[in-house]
Structure 1
Amino acid sequence: MIEIINKQIVIDGTPQLIMCGEVHYYRLQKHEWQDRIDKLKDAGCNAVASYVPWLCHEPEEGQFDLDGRTRPELDLAGFIDLCQANGLYFFVRPGPFIMAEMKNEGIPFWVYEKYPEVIPYGWDGAQATTRTLDYMAPNFLAAARNWYAAVMAVIAPRLHGKGGSIIGVQLDNEIGMLSWVSNCPDLTEHVVADFAAWLGRTYGEAELKQRYPFSLEEGAERLKAIRSPEESYSAELLHDLGYYMRNRFARYVAALREYAEEFGVTGVPFIVNIHGTGGGRGFTFPIGISQLYESYTQGPGYLSGSDIYFGDLTMSNFQDLYLINGFMDAVHLPDQPLTSLEFECGDGNYGNNYGGRYDVSAADFKTRMCIAQGNRMINYYLMTGGINYRMDQKIGDGNDRVAFTGERHGFAAPVSPEGELNYTYPRMQRAIKTMMAVKDKLAVMNEERDGVAFAFIPDYYMTEYRYPKSGRTKEIVQNIEANRAYGGWEIMARGMLLAGYRFGSVDIQNKPLDPSATPVLALPCARYLSAAIQRKLADYLNAGGGLLLYGEVPQFDMEGKPCTILSDALGIQVEGFIHNGPHSWPSIMTEGWAAGRPEVHTGFAQRLAPGDGEVFMRLYDSGAVCGVEAKAGRGRAIVIAASYSGDVPLFKTALERLGVEAGLTHDNRHYGIFTTSTANAEGERFLHVLNLDGFEKELSLSERGTKLFGGRKLAVGSKDGYMLPLGVSFGDVRISYATAEINAVSSDAISFRLTQPEDVIAVETERGIAPSEDYIVDEQDGIKLVVSRKHAKIDDKLTLKFV
């Protein structure tokens, strides 16, 4: 039995940490399957994942091959059974869409040819530039149902609980991504009619006529009016299309689940993956959350999973990964854990031209951060490369293969198409095995948090369907895009993390906002914010909450209508704004509690009338106020209404003034250190440390002012990460603390990876520790201090044996 409870994946009563590797069986010769499975197991994984391409298994309508009778590599049942024989769980991804560089994103050609009405149109009636389809078109759903009938006949008898090893089924892939990236909102006649019906259910007749001055009943008129909207209702259309598409995607996911269950798939979670990272950053990832959160929170039995494509995790982007994990968790139902369904691994050589070259720390760092934040399943994508076979049908597209990358596929993977290991494999392997050595602990641990949360507003990311000729929507969207991430992430969130704050996120749009649960809220804010959220923030402040606002004090709702609820509550008025110009270089000066800082150039600032608030930032020359601390009811807000520099002490001081201190701190002046901690209900903990820079750092770590590790300094190696135990027990042995990380546990021994010139492991046990030339043992106050005689840079392996 598989249960999703308490943010855990519980299999047959035991919480599990699932570490998958993606292996595309259909891109390998059947005799190669075992070799790739062996390499996946050697990496430390306990599960296999794979797409199941409809394009390959039903290339012609009604002609299915799921047992390998036309091509041996299409024996899906054989591959799943082989994985089970190897003691591995299986996570299956049967589409209909799978992407994976497949032609038509994995949809058979005959679907497009037989049902041309499902091919979308975009703005002004332009043809879609991607191979997306109208998900809810009756003929597409009928074809998808037939596909599910065939593939679920293989999957259903192999489910965990029914004698098999399948523990999860993904429904479609990256839903809504193609229409988002192309700004083509699938405006078929069917979609437009369905949208009109949705509008009728959402608004009253009088309000609907006010919003849309055209007939929603007359087909030709509404088609033209929605595909080519007038300026007067363009902002309303942006808003309503976004809400409608969320509903449409949720209905599509529900339909696929219904088909899967109809054909026997029950008792395992259905998973929806979230797209949106790009260019090594996470700025647009929340668009995927915004599009799909209604899909995976519409009922029990769903999980969401991230697509993580960040390349190297560095000082530039580490806060992005931390934030998007927080945003995912913020919209989840209480029991839903974090998972990652496409977790980038390999060397980044996607162009097969050595233009991408990741550091060996890339997958390691991302693994460590995601596990620390509570990810219960990670699927390393792509674990092994393969070959795109040539289809029997002549397509006439230049190569006739199933995918567009040429003959070879996955040349960036840790295991090449030919089965060779690349330079990233060993470090990835080390990370996976480190996690799996203590998997029973990590499977139930949660990140410890300080008293601050980062605000998430799904509607700030509902910007994907904007009419390109509308100046009104352009102004709204550009301002929201400028303020929802960028400075809010790179200045405020990065500063908070570097200052030692551990924080999650709160969906302030859909969830309660209570000062008792969230004492302080960090809010990246645009000029536009809905009246409902402004009112919620005002109530939060009045109830005693603390608000750190970075960006702009909102003056309008999300459709551009004047709305000053929040600024009124703060007693602040916005008098205008200034921008950096070709001959203007505005600067900010600090005063009051922020005084003593150098003048900082700014590209933008609001000019504020502070009312009774305490001013701490002004513009040079004009003296206009852009930084205010204001009281509101029993609460307090600190407003930075300007783009500012990465002043870590400033944000630390601001949060302390609001009443929250950083829990984990260090004394290295170079920053570049990420720290957090995880704990379970028994109080067992791990301290997670990443050195994001390419040089070693020495530091002392403190928690709430008390030095850790007996006051010893830690040397954190260049681009290295540690997961150090604090009060972790294995039977009758308790590791009070250690500067080395655990990498294997048995009944009579614990093995460690050393990290220091002289590591110390503090052990509490009634058992003896077997003598060894590798360490000395000194007992102090009932604790056995094991001091390594090995220098970690010479030999980083140490095993304690207990007698």
Structure 2
Amino acid sequence: MSKRLSQPVTSKVSTHALRLNGKDTFLYSGEVHYFRIPRRYWEKHLQALVDAGCNAVSTYVPWSWHEFEEGTYDVTGRTHPERDILGFIELARKYNLYVTVKPGPYVMAETTDQGIPLWLTQNYPETLARNELGQPWGTAFVAIANPIFRDRASRWLKYFSGRAVVPNQAQPQGSVIMMQVCNEIGIFQWLGAQGDHSTSNIQAWQDYLRSQYPNLADLAQLLDRELKDYSDVAPPHENCETRRQFVQYRLWHDFHRQLYAGYVKFIVDALREAGVQVPLFTNIGGWVYGRAHEFALNGTFHRETARIQPDVLFGLDHIPEIVSPNNLHDGFIANQVARELQGRKGPLYSAELQCGSREHGVQPYPDELGLFYRHCIIHGLTGMNFYMFSQGRNPKGRGTDGPMFYWYNAVDYKAERQPSYPMIQTLGRWLQQNGDLIVNAERPASLGVGFYPYLYETEFLVPILGKGTKLNPAKLGLSLDPVAFRDRAYFDGVLRILMKKSIPYDLADLTTRTLGELKAYQRLVVLSNEMMDAQTQQRLADFVRGGGELILFPMIPSYDLNFAPCRILEKELGIKTLGQGKSNRIYMGELKDIPSPSLPLIVSDRGAKAIARDVDGNVIGIEKKVGKGSVRFFGFYVNYSIEEHPDLWSAMMKFDDLERNAVVDNDALSVEARFADGEGVLFVGNFHRMPMTGNLRVKNPRGGAPIELGSIELPSQNGLMLPIQASLSKGVTLVYALGELMEKMADTNGIRLVLRGLKGMAGRIELKSDKPIRFIKVDESPIAFDRKDKIVTAAYEQNGQNQTIEILV
């Protein structure tokens, strides 16, 4: 067991991390469902967490499991040993593990009732969510606006908090440090592409319309129809083929963002009234079949929550299933969406980081998961919860997928350690040495990429699980399907290429970032279709006129979000399009005959420099000065399907003059770095299924010339977090090592390092020492080294295990 603490634990939110007892701490946690594990195994599971280097345990707490009859609670195991959540928290205290609890109201977690007690919808059928025909979605789906549901949910949350959280939120150890607010709010509406048409929800809809349009005539004018009452505006569910229908769907989408924000506020208020003081978060889902295209859409569910509840954090799912170059960029984008929602403060916490699989036969492997975890950390995670660390067996009839819950976990339901466990243990030990650096480190980025949340408000128009789309862009007069556009041009186009080229960038929410925040970037890239609100158009125009550099494509907006004409950006930037050309072939500099998915727009080059043309010589890309700044506009986009596409993106966005934190001469390797207080960590990863070689260079966190690491060959599906300018003792610095720094210490007898590289990979260290170095040993065997001025280099063979490096000065 870990060393016991003597002072009460305080849990707060800092700039980058969770601050525990006044210290920014990397949260390294594992999900263990006490209700799915025989009590006799609980301690063994918690011991496995401690041995893996974890400092926390997380669990869902199903409302239906503990209030199985209305008003009858069991949190002590009185009726069933696996209901003793208080005993589970007490055991976590014994093992000095922090605790995160997630009591719903929804827990989902592949439980048949989603955590909602059956008695609730049986006794109070008015709490059921219903479709447009008035039919219930099912017995486990409730109307979150319903006052009876909220009353009973509040009663449960306050009871649980009073028994389990408030007495344990400031304990010397085993302290409850976070609570989750419901789970993946809005996911059922998204998956089913249907809203709740229950009486309570329809009333909330009408109240929303009334609050937004106090003058009914204004709403009637917007919808271009006669209205006698707000009840005349039924929620849309038909195909969207007219602009009036589109606007009505926009209102329906906006309403739900208000609804979710009000629901979160209701839960937060209940918890705070109960005396809960720990940080609160809600979780965002959206990975589908190993891709995160829909994560940004799920993130937009909470744009109003972020506004009215700025203290609520946003946990995120990371479920890549099969890690490959095709979804290399997905995790980073999800991180960035959550970071923007939080206003770029607090811990970036993956509440469900894949460890195992919901589906037997869909097996993730230790190397690829370890690679993905490291990639997420270098790109901002300061907290991670392995989901599921422990396998479970469902109580009879309570698992949607049968008796077993999850496969290929770190430990099985008896806590026997499985193949992924050593990988998690290795990363845990690395974080024990480097976690303080990670939670304070920055990843500098001089490029901003605009994120426009309204582009993602389509969940009721485009079902994610089939059924066909309700959106008809052509009949609306739109040139681009918004879903295809954001997935192909944005997500798997520009964002994928930026990751492939290891260009550091930030997503910047164009609706919430101030003009000053946008100006902090050397360059801003914005992908736009025909629709953009007036305020955002004006902000982008002011950005350019004030000295910013904007790259805009493939269209310039001509409407606001209500389909009213709005050409602010076109007017302010002086950009005029002349219709579509007849060829989709692009010519730019040395790049010739590059296909675009659609016919480009011809652009007037009056007062501008032509920088791209089609095969007929028509100008399709320009560059011009506007005010104190400049703009590049391209009337086309490309995705990434041929060898030349990355080079075209590079030319369009001028990658060559962007500062990078790390550089490798082989795009098949992914690199990035973080820095703090003159030290750094360099990530290098190979997402391919064959070895890859490249020459590495990283920015010097102490200033001066970049650090050259030379050649490195990485085995397939592997990654490393390499130390950069790590202080070892007075006058001695580890400039870099081609192995992960697991431990370091220095005393009068010299310096001792523990490095862990990959088996068969060449090991190399570079030291800077003010004094002569007498010898270097690897696992007690002396090795040769070279010295030039103050720089000492030594090579050795790595065995894939921890290797002790002894240095005598």
TM-score (norm 1): 0.89
Which deviates further from its counterpart, 320-329 or 170-179?
320-329
1:351 to 359, 371, 377: 359
Q: In structure 1, what is the Cα distance between the partners aligned to 2:708 and 2:352? A: 40
Structure 2: where are the runs of 5+ without partners? 1-9, 463-468
Give the CA deviation at 1:793.
4.5
* Correspondence for 2:328: 318
Partner deviation per Cα, 1:571-615 (whole Å, 9 max, x = no partner): 333344479xxxxxx54131xxx3222412332133223232333
Q: In structure 2, what is the Cα distance between the partners aligned to 1:576 and 1:127? A: 49
Contact 1:387–1:408 (8 Å) recurs in 2? yes
Partner deviation per Cα, 1:755-789 (whole Å, 9 max, x = no partner): 54241242547797775344436474674636243
Give the CA deviation at 1:517.
0.5
Contact 2:302–2:341 (8 Å) recurs in 1? no
Give the CA deviation at 1:562.
3.0
* Correspondence for 1:490: 492
* Correspondence for 2:526: 523
* Correspondence for 1:35: 44
1:618 corresponds to which letter in structure 2?
R
* Correspondence for 1:728: 726
Contact 2:784–2:794 (8 Å) recurs in 1? yes
* Correspondence for 1:601: 595
Q: SS of 2:455's equivalent?
A: helix
Which deviates further from its counterpart, 776-785 or 290-299?
776-785
Give the CA deviation at 1:358.
2.4
Q: SS of 2:302's equivalent?
A: helix
Q: In structure 1, what is the Cα distance between the partners aligned to 2:268 and 2:734? A: 45
Contact 1:574–1:606 (8 Å) recurs in 2? no
Q: Are 2:383 and 1:377 aligned?
A: yes
1:112 corresponds to which letter in structure 2?
T
1:32 corresponds to which letter in structure 2?
Y
1:258 corresponds to which letter in structure 2?
D
Contact 2:581–2:618 (8 Å) recurs in 1? no
Q: Are 2:283 and 1:283 aligned?
A: no
Give the CA deviation at 1:161.
5.0
* Correspondence for 1:210: 221
* Correspondence for 2:256: 245
Partner deviation per Cα, 1:72-92 (whole Å, 9 max, x = no partner): 111101111111111111111
Q: Are 2:708 and 1:702 aligned?
A: no
Give the CA deviation at 1:501.
1.3
Q: SS of 1:800's equivalent?
A: strand
User: Between Structure 1 and Structure 2, how many residues are aligned?
Assistant: 771
Q: Are 2:452 and 1:457 aligned?
A: yes
Structure 1: where are the runs of 5+ without partners? 391-400, 580-585
Which deviates further from its counterpart, 769-778 or 514-523?
769-778
Contact 1:674–1:689 (8 Å) recurs in 2? yes
Q: Are 2:785 and 1:785 aligned?
A: no
1:639 corresponds to which letter in structure 2?
F
Describe how 1:335-346 pairs up with structure 2 within 5 A: 335-346=345-356
Q: In structure 2, what is the Cα distance between the partners aligned to 1:658 and 1:762? A: 31
Contact 1:171–1:272 (8 Å) recurs in 2? yes
Give the CA deviation at 1:167.
0.7
**Distance change in 2, residues 1:32/1:766 (3 Å):** farther
**Distance change in 2, residues 1:774/1:630 (3 Å):** farther
**Distance change in 2, residues 1:250/1:638 (3 Å):** same
Q: SS of 1:249's equivalent?
A: helix
* Correspondence for 2:154: 145
Contact 1:499–1:649 (8 Å) recurs in 2? no
1:508 to 487, 507, 510: 510
2:536 to 523, 533, 536: 533
Which deviates further from its counterpart, 51-60 or 356-365?
356-365
* Correspondence for 1:636: 630
* Correspondence for 1:94: 103
Contact 2:776–2:808 (8 Å) recurs in 1? no
2:72 to 38, 63, 71: 63
Give the CA deviation at 1:504.
1.2
Q: In structure 2, what is the Cα distance between the partners aligned to 1:596 and 1:499? A: 19
Partner deviation per Cα, 1:279-324 (whole Å, 9 max, x = no partner): 1111110112110133245345421111111123321111122122
* Correspondence for 2:737: 738
Q: In structure 2, what is the Cα distance between the partners aligned to 1:744 and 1:172? A: 39
* Correspondence for 1:396: none
* Correspondence for 1:365: 371
* Correspondence for 2:5: none
**Distance change in 2, residues 1:455/1:130 (3 Å):** farther
Q: In structure 2, what is the Cα distance between the partners aligned to 1:740 and 1:607? A: 50
Partner deviation per Cα, 1:534-566 (whole Å, 9 max, x = no partner): 222122111222222343333322233333322
Give the CA deviation at 1:708.
5.3
Q: In structure 2, what is the Cα distance between the partners aligned to 1:659 and 1:699? A: 21
* Correspondence for 1:185: 195
Q: SS of 2:321's equivalent?
A: coil
Contact 2:538–2:568 (8 Å) recurs in 1? yes
Q: In structure 1, what is the Cα distance between the partners aligned to 2:772 and 2:280? A: 46
**Distance change in 2, residues 1:409/1:103 (3 Å):** same
**Distance change in 2, residues 1:750/1:481 (3 Å):** same
Q: In structure 2, what is the Cα distance between the partners aligned to 1:667 and 1:367? A: 24
Describe how 1:594-673 pairs up with structure 2 within 5 A: 594-612=588-606, 613-620=608-615, 622-644=616-638, 646=640, 647-656=645-654, 660-668=658-666, 671-673=667-669
Contact 1:521–1:547 (8 Å) recurs in 2? yes
Identical counterparts, % of pairs: 24
Partner deviation per Cα, 1:719-766 (whole Å, 9 max, x = no partner): 221111112235646322222210124465321113542412425477
Q: In structure 1, what is the Cα distance between the partners aligned to 2:491 and 2:259? A: 30
Give the CA deviation at 1:674.
1.4
* Correspondence for 1:759: 764
**Distance change in 2, residues 1:136/1:144 (3 Å):** same
Partner deviation per Cα, 1:252-289 (whole Å, 9 max, x = no partner): 111111211222211x1011111111111111101121
Contact 2:368–2:717 (8 Å) recurs in 1? no
Q: Are 2:284 and 1:274 aligned?
A: yes
Q: In structure 2, what is the Cα distance between the partners aligned to 1:35 and 1:610? A: 70
RMSD: 2.9
Describe how 1:404-483 pairs up with structure 2 within 5 A: 404-449=400-445, 451-466=446-461, 471=472, 475=476, 479-483=481-485
Give the CA deviation at 1:359.
3.5
Q: Are 2:127 and 1:118 aligned?
A: yes
1:247 corresponds to which letter in structure 2?
Q
* Correspondence for 1:549: 552
Contact 1:411–1:417 (8 Å) recurs in 2? no
Partner deviation per Cα, 1:210-250 (whole Å, 9 max, x = no partner): 1244547465x44x465669956322222222222222211
